[in-house]
Amino acid sequence: MRLDSNSNNFITPEELADIFKISKSSVYRLIDKRQIPFFKIGGKLRFSQSDIDKYLENVRIEPITKII
């Protein structure tokens, strides 16, 4: 499997916390509960931008619409 260097951007837990506007401890809680996909590369945690996009789609809550 070859990866195109432009096809997968990896971000750090600190960057993810900044993107989500949550604390780093909240990011690590998501990791500990295995609620968010991650990689461990050279002992460091990394997140794939495409995995994060999929995660956000899965946790999205649709608005309630009234039936008239």
**pLDDT per residue as tens digits for the range 25-45:** 999 999 999 999 999 999 999
Which residues lie closer than 8 Å to 64 by C-beta, 6 or more apart?
A: none
Q: Cα–Cα distances in Å, from 50 out to 1, 10, 67, 68? A: 17, 9, 35, 38
What is the pLDDT averaged over residues 42-63?
94
pLDDT at position 63 is 87
pLDDT averaged over every residue in the chain: 88
Q: Is 48:37 a contact under the CB 8 Å cutoff?
A: yes
Residue 10 pLDDT greater than 90, yes or no: yes
Q: What is the pTM of this model?
A: 0.76
Which burial class, exposed, middle or buried, applies to 66 when counting CB atoms under 10 A from its CB (0-12, 13-18, 19+)?
exposed
Q: Is 38:47 a contact under the CB 8 Å cutoff?
A: yes
What is the pLDDT averaged over residues 8-30?
95
